[in-house]
Structure 1
């Protein structure tokens, strides 16, 4: 699940780039479109300044932090434009302006001509402006900020004043979203190419409200393929097969949910009910005998079966179009036996399978038939991903893009790495990033709901990759609708289920 809802996603481009790719876009704009670098810089500064005024229209004073690169040049332009508007502005400098790149130095002279007050950074100084503009470090910076830059970032964050970041919050890795010490912005304005690190890992938290401006360079952006793309439900819904007038339930697949060990019946129920609400023709649950009456009383449309062994599971597998295994599965001998039977049957008979929770943990421990498969979906959170890759959570989160690619290469099929900016990797397609959802979805049962959604879409004829992508988007969109009604803090996983049906009503 994704964990934020600050991005102005409808206005953001689909393609997401690395820092090196964005540098190539900059050069293409200069060389192919004939736009001088200083003109691009002034466009960026103006776009940022206009956004600043939209968010804080009563601003009387600004403090702009400028480093030693082109990001500082954007800051000098913002300061000059503020001075022209008779807004009191001062610049905190962390680098000798005489050593700035040529375009940034021209921007510095622009600010001087407008009479902007400038002074070197002082670690124990106070911030005078009502709003702070972060032009310290751009996409070229690597590693954790050091020295005065680290101190300046702390100073900005501790001031408690509104912050606008130019292109990217200083200290945030444009490629991965990893950050140690970084500016926490309220607004970030990104230029030319949208950096992929802004939308996953720590990016969403540090960016605040994210905006994009192409600086009139869309022509060059369209020429450079991106290895990562934002995905949204609207475009993916068109791939869900339409229902014919003479349709019957047999045409929409049979989802079998395997799970619900002692104490975990609710997980299997959430997954099964979600699958039913998302259009699966038939939904069965294989679980402990003690849970049957509770499941049927909650949702009589489900077919609930008591199973005590893998042998008893096999007749249910024979009827299934897709299997979900993991919700509430647990780690008991019963759990392992059901997992092994389901995994073996799926491999032998080419039945798609969605694996979640403890099914992934047992896969990581080698309790499932080894080898990559093209017809399963793995849905790990960072902890499960770390176990699957024999790694650790910090390593997974330090580069989520590389982590999801490694998972897909090792296990095949479609892999969904959950978290802020969930990532989906399937075969050679671009990695999908879902900028949907909100922090209220950080609660028990959300993953169970998601596994049921994905399974229902596979049952209705979608590929595992498309089902995974659409399922994540629907799940996040439903979470936003539920938050609008219940608020984020009190949201429950079951609250999403009616909204899932609503989102699919017009498809």
Structure 2
């Protein structure tokens, strides 16, 4: 139920082995171009013309073959190349000759060239690219983006780094990306969701998972996991068998975050939810969610006994970094129960508990919190999100969820990518809701890593369902609980 994801070098090795196994390299290129052609036709069936922009490698070769297919189908085809055809070599040269034989004209790119196609095919740079695009290639990408036409990217939008999802300079903004042989990690996280459009994976007949010595670099979560994970409850279930979540947070003046986490935990099916918060927030808690057992605590001494009665402790929402928050976090860390650590609890860990490790916790940093935990910059985190989340997991143990577009989950079982979520989630309290959902799942199931997968996915899918019905702008964290409840009752 999880799609394997690979790094660029792994896909190149799969390509090499496929060719060594008896499939001609040019034949594989033709398969790729044919798959891209079918993707183009299914998405833009009314298009009567296209512009194909070809680089000088195999990615460009795919573009030349696609141009030939377009001409043979009666479309008006403009073919632009970044390198003279007589300087191409190998399969790319054969592909260019095929397009020329099919009657496709060819222009060498120059500043000011007019793009005439209704749809643009990006066959400029492939997955081998790594670094900032410069010179002519940068100007070509800027021209493509300025053309205001839909773009089909072949294998990867040019300028996007296949292993990391980072865009060091500029990248093509595609409406759709058709990718081959093995899906790439970098198509699903970081800057990628802003430029890939819909992702259409085509294996080209290559069974990547048959090569046991090339394990996937990551796995992509899929909604189909939910049905098996949320089966009907036993008719004899009661609140004592559904787990007890304790949320510790809500320093004086910051009560809302902890209340959001509590409500999310309750809606995700926890049997009992308790709250340890500053005394002035008790009345608001009773009004907001009377099902929650709220305890007013003035410091660590009053909070110390509460974790002993819980199956899981969520600590951090609205915690603050002052003395109250420090004392409450210390009491949570002294508990043997699984922990979900979020928000200011992460900042306190970075500052005051730099060496603490646990196998039974989930850390949920956004890039800023991850940077503080790793002692680097946010830019460093975003330049290679997969490496960052794995480094943090190695340093701190347990499971780490690096939030953001294409949230990443690193745990003992490897790296997992969540492809769901939307920009409407760029509002306060979303992380608090996630922490409450995670706590509820651990309380009911006990499997920390799998609960991290499920909670991240349900959280993102709930936001997607809410955005589908009401739009992205104005989406509130408190909207997610009701949609999440529907998702966990399939």
In the aligned structure 2, how far is the partner of 1:199 from the partner of 1:128? 31
In structure 2, the partner of 1:140 is 128
C-alpha distance after superposition, 1:2-38 (max 9, x if no partner): xxxxxxxx9xx70000000000111122122x22111
In the aligned structure 1, how far is the partner of 2:208 from the partner of 2:349? 46
In structure 2, the partner of 1:361 is 347
TM norm structure 2: 0.96
- Of residues 467, 480, 484, the one that matches 1:500 is 484
In structure 2, the partner of 1:188 is 177
In the aligned structure 1, how far is the partner of 2:157 from the partner of 2:210? 22
User: Residues 68-83 of structure 1: matches in 2 within 5 Å?
Assistant: 68-83=56-71
2:25 equivalent to 1:40: no
2:338 equivalent to 1:352: yes
- Seen in structure 2, the aligned counterparts of structure 1 residues 249 and 220 have a Cα distance that, compared at 3 Å, is closer
In structure 2, the partner of 1:23 is 12
In the aligned structure 2, how far is the partner of 1:198 from the partner of 1:133? 18
In the aligned structure 1, how far is the partner of 2:69 from the partner of 2:237? 63
Native 8 Å contact 2:6 2:182 kept in 1: yes
Native 8 Å contact 1:232 1:470 kept in 2: no
In structure 1, the partner of 2:384 is 399
Native 8 Å contact 2:52 2:122 kept in 1: yes
SS at match of 1:460: helix
2:359 equivalent to 1:371: no
C-alpha distance after superposition, 1:339-393 (max 9, x if no partner): 12211x22xxx21110101110111112x37321101110000010000000001
- Seen in structure 2, the aligned counterparts of structure 1 residues 119 and 103 have a Cα distance that, compared at 3 Å, is same
In the aligned structure 2, how far is the partner of 1:100 from the partner of 1:239? 52
In the aligned structure 2, how far is the partner of 1:144 from the partner of 1:106? 29
- Of residues 413, 437, 446, the one that matches 1:453 is 437
Q: Structure 2 regions of 5+ residues with no counterpart?
A: none
Give the length in aligned residue pairs. Answer: 488
CA positional deviation for 1:156: 0.6
Say which is worse superposed, 259-268 or 234-243, in terms of deviation: 234-243
CA positional deviation for 1:79: 0.6
Native 8 Å contact 1:253 1:321 kept in 2: yes
Q: Structure 1 regions of 5+ residues with no counterpart?
A: 1-9
User: Residues 259-274 of structure 1: matches in 2 within 5 Å?
Assistant: 259-274=249-264
User: Residues 108-119 of structure 1: matches in 2 within 5 Å?
Assistant: 108-119=96-107
Native 8 Å contact 1:233 1:470 kept in 2: no
CA positional deviation for 1:222: 5.9
Native 8 Å contact 2:181 2:208 kept in 1: no
In the aligned structure 1, how far is the partner of 2:193 from the partner of 2:77? 28
C-alpha distance after superposition, 1:435-468 (max 9, x if no partner): 1111111111111110001111111133211111
User: Residues 377-388 of structure 1: matches in 2 within 5 Å?
Assistant: 377-388=362-373
C-alpha distance after superposition, 1:222-241 (max 9, x if no partner): 64320200123432663568
Native 8 Å contact 2:226 2:487 kept in 1: no
In the aligned structure 1, how far is the partner of 2:341 from the partner of 2:98? 58
In the aligned structure 2, how far is the partner of 1:462 from the partner of 1:337? 26
Native 8 Å contact 2:230 2:488 kept in 1: no
- Seen in structure 2, the aligned counterparts of structure 1 residues 220 and 232 have a Cα distance that, compared at 3 Å, is closer
C-alpha distance after superposition, 1:394-450 (max 9, x if no partner): 1101111100010001100100000111111112x1201111111111111111110
- Of residues 467, 470, 473, the one that matches 1:483 is 467
Say which is worse superposed, 41-50 or 391-400, in terms of deviation: 41-50
In the aligned structure 1, how far is the partner of 2:307 from the partner of 2:35? 57
C-alpha distance after superposition, 1:89-122 (max 9, x if no partner): 1111111323324111111001001111111111
- Of residues 189, 198, 202, the one that matches 1:209 is 198
In the aligned structure 2, how far is the partner of 1:449 from the partner of 1:373? 23
User: Residues 107-506 of structure 1: matches in 2 within 5 Å?
Assistant: 107-179=95-167, 180-218=169-207, 223=212, 224-235=214-225, 238-239=228-229, 243-343=233-333, 345-346=334-335, 350-366=336-352, 368=353, 370-427=355-412, 429-506=413-490
In the aligned structure 2, how far is the partner of 1:462 from the partner of 1:101? 57
SS at match of 1:150: helix
Q: CA RMSD in A?
A: 1.6
Native 8 Å contact 1:379 1:415 kept in 2: yes
- Seen in structure 2, the aligned counterparts of structure 1 residues 233 and 263 have a Cα distance that, compared at 3 Å, is farther
TM norm structure 1: 0.93
SS at match of 1:165: strand
SS at match of 2:305: helix
SS at match of 2:416: strand
- Seen in structure 2, the aligned counterparts of structure 1 residues 359 and 49 have a Cα distance that, compared at 3 Å, is same
